[in-house]
A and B are shown apart, each in its own frame.
Chain A
């Protein structure tokens, strides 16, 4: 079936085309600068800062990874994430309890595990994190799509373009089958143009709610974008053959943002991308994925200039953002729940060996491929009494029962300092504040020493205390926010 007028976005650069960093040390020492005039963090860049970078731009460090990254210096560290040498997966492939590998297209929940596995095993964490960002930006739910295959295909498209240019991303997602179904652009005809996509494209994807466009613009965009359709496989009921049908397209004259012409869907994208409100909306929204602190007015303007002058490239902006002082000096970001799960697994060097993560992800409040609505997840609301319970109880799923310390057989010294160190080390050695470590040591003293009177208690209480300390380390506020 031919697809008139349709050519998909240019592909993402192949790994061989991505520049690698030749001399990391000399780059790291060079005074930091970026093409536009966004400020660059000039403070200490040590393990703690590298750890924060890995949580903001990825899924937290594996054991020792923050130290390695810190040695590259800020710029080297950022570029190693934005221009990864390898985008491969490292470590054992997923095997479920029943001995089966994943069937991401077909078995319920295996789509979620397929992506979680990538988050855990990737050697290019920013690529996966940006894919998660785009999944939230163009939030599409399998609740409406009902096809794990189409959802995963969309996910691959987002991954391929995640650091490319936004016009290519918008073009690819507008014509992506999962999106065509989700926001009803497929089946939108000249007789009954569906406004769903036209509205969300402006409100959520490119311009933001406000007075930048009118209800008439929504209707005229809908007319311009009419003509997409698909068929349904008679045997399986599965949607297929997504295409643009000129006979369903309204080829009358439309007026959008005071421009008049016989516009089609590509014109709609061109017009919205050239709308004066777009650059500011884009750079503000992109920033919000990396920091809870607002970017100041001057920096927003600089970022918008940089975005436009680069041809709406994503990568340069992400690089500048990740070097911004607010990332290292501003308030912490509450870790998105799925980032927390992937990060805990990375910290303990565990791989996908159970489907429990599917419902655990629901209990902590973020199941990939099932955002709550087209607006995506609300990152200001990750923590409530149910999700906090879910986060705490993740520990029991993380620590396979055979690895739980048995007070009848295990022996631990009761020294509170050492007990606390062991527990922090169990999770790969996350950085905790002095105050948090103080609370943990105080707990260890009460639980392992003060509470023990009989000799068996002096032997067994340190072991039970160590089990509790493991849970407390990852329940601490330090570990919820990065």
Chain B
């Protein structure tokens, strides 16, 4: 194993360093999925594990080598059954841009005289493609892949989304966005609460964090959710163990888990359930393991950028898993790029924006190529935007409102909120005022995309406005 994360393009060392540690810490923190006493044991499957390993070994090459569809006949009965049920279920993907992205460098107010005044170092050069719904804004050329999707009517842009009384702490503001309320004490995520209502007790993949730690938006109170770095890396390793002994060892996970579950001891029951749930997840993801003897380098489908970090691979894993019939419902991914650009913003920001934009385009094209694009909607967000006035270190400090996007074939593709301009769009602290509220966005996604009343999921839903997000 190697060090799990090398945050790239992070101007603020402290953020990335602490984030690396936080990934682990949050996994143990509040609001994690409880593995509750009484949860049914994972359903047995008709296929022997050994057969499954053999059947999947060749398929792994197919998936990673050619990016072609898998043969559903190869799946175990249990997964196939879940796939049937989930075949038409909508999937919501949440993409978190870490660290607070400088929205004014994604869609920039070209021609606003205050822009070059605020951004003497960092202003994007004139000439970017105008933003059709408000030509006082222009797309950063590095965001051209998003602009391309926008031109196809597949992107709803929120130029200044946020909330009243904005908090400028990474931790606090992200927490608000994750839990879907400006409440410090909520310990379940907004998607987690949705899954608690509609989810199944034996399907951890319904809420999938592609990360080392649970993404807080997926924190449930009751239903199981899964946390994996990549489907190909949900991999158990015991040194000096392979072959038949390894296969039998996984069977022993379940037997040992059963010893815990059959006890009357809550600690042992919890441990036993974790063992069995993890083994269930392992079998669900077996088909993504590189075949024995294969090098671990994987080829992503066409279009995804070649990156040193795992963001493109994590996004590419979603269409693969859906194509394989895995029962996903809500998926959460965080960029490895950290947008907390307090100093020397230009170069790392450019690299990160380019990678994220290309990945989002490749992801949408991947879904379309597989005929899955009608099922997936992606919301792209960050905990805040940055201050319009750049600082003395050629960087930008924490701001208030920032940008978000809803992307997909079914996205309505029209602007939510508006761009007020720099002369009238700033609050007394010099930050961007919000023209859309993230809680309203969540209510709208729940009701129009996931088909579930936001009442009971988003606090105060009845008082919140709704936007049209789906066509």
Contact = CB atoms under 8 A, between A and B. Distances in A.
Interface of A: 108, 141-144, 146, 209, 292, 331-334, 337, 358-359, 361-367, 370-373, 375, 377-378, 380-390, 392-393, 395-397, 399, 401, 404-407, 433, 435-436, 439-440, 442-443, 446-447, 451, 461, 463-465, 467-468, 470-472, 475-478, 480-482
A471 B245 CA distance: 12
Contacts of B270: 334, 383, 481
A362 B19 CA distance: 10
A389 to B, nearest CB: 6
30 contacts: A142-B18, A143-B14, A337-B28, A359-B20, A362-B23, A367-B25, A370-B25, A378-B32, A381-B28, A381-B33, A381-B34, A383-B274, A385-B278, A386-B229, A388-B277, A388-B278, A389-B228, A392-B236, A439-B259, A443-B249, A451-B248, A464-B241, A464-B242, A465-B245, A467-B245, A471-B239, A475-B253, A476-B256, A477-B275, A478-B268
A447 B244 contact: yes
A331 B18 contact: no
B35 A384 contact: yes
Q: Which of B4, B26, B259 has the most CB of A within 10 A?
A: B259
Interface string B228-240: 1100001011111
Contact of B226 (A385, A406, A439, A481): A385
A63 B227 CA distance: 35
A461 B21 CA distance: 39
Given A373-B30, A433-B263, A481-B270, 14 more contacts: A144-B171, A331-B267, A359-B4, A363-B4, A365-B24, A378-B187, A387-B274, A401-B239, A435-B262, A451-B244, A464-B241, A467-B240, A475-B275, A478-B260
Q: Which of A362, A401, A406, A436 has the most CB of B within 10 A?
A: A362
Contacts of A433: 259, 263
B459 to A, nearest CB: 17
Contacts of A396: 1, 237-239
B22 A383 contact: no
Contacts of A471: 238-239, 241, 249
B25 A404 contact: no
A109 to B, nearest CB: 9
Nearest to B278: A388
Nearest to A442: B255
Contact of B26 (A372, A401, A470): A372
Q: Which of B1, B239, B253 has the most CB of A within 10 A?
A: B239
Contacts of A141: 18, 25
Given A378-B30, A381-B28, A443-B249, A143 B274 contact: no
A447 B248 contact: yes
B239 A404 contact: yes
Interface string B252-283: 11011101101101111011111101100100
A248 B266 CA distance: 51
Nearest to B233: A389
B28 A472 contact: no
Nearest 10 A/B pairs, CB to CB: A362-B24, A372-B29, A477-B260, A365-B28, A332-B267, A481-B267, A477-B271, A467-B240, A471-B238, A386-B227
Which secondary structure dominates chain A's binding surface? helix
B239 A399 contact: yes
B212 interface: yes
A363 to B, nearest CB: 6
Contacts of A366: 24-25, 28
Interface string B186-203: 010000000000000000
B176 to A, nearest CB: 13
A361 B17 CA distance: 14
B99 interface: no
B165 interface: no
B154 to A, nearest CB: 32
Nearest to B224: A385
Contacts of A404: 239-240
Given A443-B248, A446-B248, A385 B228 contact: yes
A364 B28 CA distance: 8
Contact of A385 (B22, B204, B257): B204
B126 to A, nearest CB: 37
Interface string B1-45: 101100000000010011011111111111111110000000000
A376 B253 CA distance: 31
B25 A365 contact: yes
B425 to A, nearest CB: 26
Given A146-B14, A396-B238, A401-B239, A386 B272 contact: no
Contacts of A292: 266-267
Contacts of B377: none
Given A146-B14, A372-B29, A468 B249 contact: yes
A464 B29 contact: no
Contacts of B262: 435
B213 interface: yes
A246 B206 CA distance: 56
B373 interface: no
Contact of B256 (A209, A382, A472): A472
B214 interface: yes
A480 B259 CA distance: 13
Nearest to A434: B259
B127 interface: no
A467 B245 CA distance: 9
Contacts of B3: 359
Contacts of B418: none
A83 B416 CA distance: 65
A390 B14 CA distance: 25
A482 B255 CA distance: 19
B267 A467 contact: no
Contacts of B34: 380-381
A75 B425 CA distance: 69
Nearest to A364: B24
Interface in B393-449: none
A366 B246 CA distance: 28
Contact of A476 (B24, B237, B244, B259): B259
Interface string B80-98: 0000000000000000000
A367 B239 contact: no
A145 to B, nearest CB: 10
Contact of B255 (A108, A358, A439): A439
A289 B364 CA distance: 48
B113 interface: no
Contacts of A337: 28
B243 interface: yes
B245 A451 contact: yes
Nearest to A331: B266
Nearest to B272: A477
Q: Which of B262, B270, B275 has the most CB of A within 10 A?
A: B270
Nearest to B35: A383
A44 B221 CA distance: 38
Contact of A393 (B29, B237, B268): B237
Contacts of A390: 24
B331 to A, nearest CB: 15
A366 B213 CA distance: 11
A108 B240 CA distance: 32
A435 B257 CA distance: 11
A317 to B, nearest CB: 23
Nearest to B264: A331
B207 to A, nearest CB: 11
Given A359-B20, A370-B22, A378-B32, A472 B1 contact: no
A477 B239 contact: no
Contacts of A464: 240-243, 245
Contacts of B234: 385, 389
Nearest to A437: B259
A229 B27 CA distance: 34
Contacts of B23: 362
A382 B34 CA distance: 9
A389 B236 contact: yes
Nearest to A435: B259
